[in-house]
A and B are shown apart, each in its own frame.
Chain A
Amino acid sequence: MSAEAPVARSAPPAVDSRTRRLHASTLVFRFLRHAKGLILPVILVLFFASEDQWELWLGVLLAPAMIYEVYRYLGLRYRLEDDELVVTQGFLFKNERHVPLARIQNIDSSQSLLHRLFGVVDVRVETASGGEPEAELKVLSVRMFDEVRQHVFAGRKGPEAAAGSGPGVGDGAPADARPARSLNRTAAGDLLLLGLDPGRGLGMVFVVLGVAWQLGVFEGLAVSEMVKSALRTDGKVALLASIALAAAAAALVVLLSLLATLAVLYDFRLERLGDEFRVQCGLLTRHSTTIPERRIQFVAILEPWLSRWLGRATIKVETAGGGGEGERAPLTRQWFVPLVRRDALPALLREIHPRLDLDAAQWLPLAPRAIRRMRKEAVIVAVALTAGALLLVRPWGGLAILVFLPLLLWHAHQLEERTRYARTPYGVVYRTGVLTRKTGVAFLDRIQAVRTGESPFDRRHGMASLHVDTAGAGKVGHAIDIPYLERDVAQALREDLVAAAELAPSSR
């Protein structure tokens, strides 16, 4: 019944525009999805239905969904034409969607362990329209996926090759015939380093711990018994036990964070193919996505202190349009390079934009009087924190000022020294941060709006802040948001950036 099998066997290199169905295992995956959604009702059924009835109830719950799925599966067909992907759906109400290949921005795929068992791929076809993916082909066989991808890329490269954009564009040959250039393969050791970053995956770790607690895993490990018995004995033992427990919990958090990072980013590969970047990663579930160069809106280079100490940096990029804003955004999309040696950084940045060279930028400091304001703020925060400490521990809490004040003043000075910006031929760059150093790059042709702001404090000091807005901003934890600029400097920079942005072609 699947029209796919014979095609897969003969595998003609030229695209045939035969109508096809999804891989038959689609039904298995849809079934599992419904089963997952029905876990709660199923539990209820198991509790309340009498012994011999539960199969019946399960059938009642699942059967309609599965009938619908079979109906859907039989009704969903797709075919590749010369310049479009056509997806038809339904029997009674027929829906035929034509997606022009030239408009397809992205073909994302992910492959879980189960997918791999069946040799199939979860495919999302995205265009620039934003919102939902244009077509979801769940699931295709790997071979069919390759064929679809090849055809889409081959169809796309045509006009662009004629326009002469991008280095090494093939001459009429299918795009995949050209070798992809490997840009980065993040080593497992580097991923471990990334996993050590306590900010990452912490939320997930807490969820896991919470679930484990709920399921009584800890009871099973007799941890609580240990604690209880320890508490019943004398105070010192109890203290030691709780310290050990805390250490164990911390170790567990780190371990889980490591594992989560490894699972998601294992065998990370970044390749370049024409004017696209291809990202692949994942241990169990393998993700793959393409990032067209023209869709990169903002580049952030992040250096947490541990990575920086080891001479490594992270590059994240923001892309816009296409499906998957927010939660559904493919995770691979923003991890452009999880971790790269600092000396390899310039070459990678040049791949993103040929003129992007951070060392050549003429970095400018904040307003001369910025440090005075930052110092003042540090003092205010230190006093507030000390007041809090004083309320908690009287009167010795007051000594906290001896810690807070030097620390915050040091931080203010460091921050002032590290905060620099530069107007470059391609846009504007901004770097800040003491512990985690962040550098952001906004390109002229992606700048959507520029804002200067003057708070009452700014006005008293003749200062202003500058914010550069790009599409899809804020997802990578850094943005061009420069405080404490001289007012005239900020206003001039805004006018300059907007004028330059207006002249820069915005098609990308």
Chain B
Amino acid sequence: MFETESDRSSERGQPAEAVPGRRAAIADGRRHPLAPEQVVADRIVGWILTAVFGTLALPVLVLGWTMDWFPAWLDWLLGAAWVAFVGGLGWTSQRWPHLEHRHTRIRVGPVGLDLWRGVFWRRVISVPRSRVQHTDVTQGPLQRKYGLATLTVHTAGTEHAKVEVAGLSHATALAVRDYLLCREDDDVG
């Protein structure tokens, strides 16, 4: 599920908890990146948005050109602005998911859930396991296509009443959910 170094090492040094396969793989108290497919899914969303916004801005440009609304220099300027806008948006759509993915880590262990996120403003959100009220695992259409899911952890808190992890593989999300909710099988030692 995770093709990462930390994951492989975790499997080697696993037997600390006698829990079957997939649950232990994620709840090992190590930092894991999210599923790389999420980058692809996010990029597709970004491209769609780029296409939509680019097309919406196009009529003004084309009409301005054909109907002679603006002076020629403004036409060129608007054209350049459009190219810059669509180019920038496209570049961001391409680049940002990767950056985000690189700075997002999840750690699940006996203490609870920790989430590293943020590219410029970096945050670590820690939720003790016993404070998890309930969890949701949701899948959008794109996420379904790539076997991904969004895990939402609800606490009784205020600002972090809802902690969302978008981009776990569906199986992992379910495993994390099971681990966080089933507290009897391997409680805090």
Contact = CB atoms under 8 A, between A and B. Distances in A.
Contacts of B155: 448-449, 469
Interface stretch (B5-13, B34-42, B121-129): B121-129
Interface stretch (B52-60, B139-147, B157-165, B167-175): B157-165
Contacts of B48: none
B81 interface: no
A456 B120 contact: yes
Given A502-B130, A506-B130, A451 B125 contact: yes
A503 B156 CA distance: 17
Contacts of A473: 157-159
B123 A469 contact: no
B64 interface: no
A448 B188 contact: no
Contacts of B124: 451-453, 491, 494
Interface string A406-425: 00000000000000000000
B61 interface: no
A459 B123 CA distance: 11
A497 B123 CA distance: 16
A473 B188 CA distance: 27
B112 interface: yes
Contacts of B160: 448-449, 451, 469
A495 B112 CA distance: 10
A428 interface: no
B71 to A, nearest CB: 34
B137 interface: no
Contacts of A497: 126
Contacts of B130: 501-502, 506
B126 A449 contact: yes
Given A494-B126, A498-B111, A449 B121 contact: no
A469 B128 contact: no
Interface string A433-453: 000000000000001111111
Given A499-B111, A503-B188, A450 B126 contact: yes
Chain A contact-residue range equals 20 to 34
B69 to A, nearest CB: 37
B95 interface: no
Contacts of A320: 156
Contacts of B120: 455-456
A454 interface: yes
B131 interface: yes
A502 B157 contact: no
A347 to B, nearest CB: 29
Chain B contact-residue range equals 20 to 34
Contact of A474 (B112, B123, B125, B158): B158
Contacts of A314: none
A495 B111 CA distance: 9
Contact of B156 (A448, A459, A499): A448
A127 interface: no
Contacts of B118: 453-454
A471 interface: yes
A498 B123 contact: no
Nearest to A448: B157
A447 to B, nearest CB: 7
Given A449-B163, A467-B159, A502 B121 contact: no
B121 A448 contact: no
Contact of B159 (A454, A459, A469, A491): A469
A470 interface: yes
A379 to B, nearest CB: 23
A454 B121 CA distance: 6
Nearest to B121: A455
A260 B5 CA distance: 64
A469 B122 contact: no
A398 interface: no
B159 A453 contact: no
Q: Which of B114, B122, B128 has the most CB of A within 10 A?
A: B128
Nearest to B129: A502
B158 A502 contact: no
Nearest to B122: A454
A365 interface: no
Nearest to A500: B128
Given A467-B159, A506-B130, A449 B122 contact: no
Contact of A453 (B110, B112, B122): B122
A453 B121 contact: yes
A502 B188 contact: yes
A321 B120 CA distance: 35
B123 A451 contact: yes
Given A448-B131, A497-B126, 18 more contacts: A448-B127, A448-B155, A448-B158, A448-B160, A449-B125, A449-B127, A449-B159, A449-B160, A454-B122, A456-B120, A469-B157, A469-B160, A470-B157, A470-B158, A471-B158, A472-B158, A498-B112, A502-B110
Interface of A: 320-321, 447-456, 459, 467, 469-474, 491, 494-495, 497-499, 501-503, 506
9 contacts: A447-B131, A448-B157, A449-B155, A449-B157, A453-B124, A471-B156, A474-B159, A498-B127, A502-B111
Interface of B: 110-112, 114, 118, 120-131, 155-161, 163, 188
6 closest A-B pairs (Cβ-Cβ)? A448-B157, A502-B128, A449-B160, A469-B157, A473-B158, A498-B126
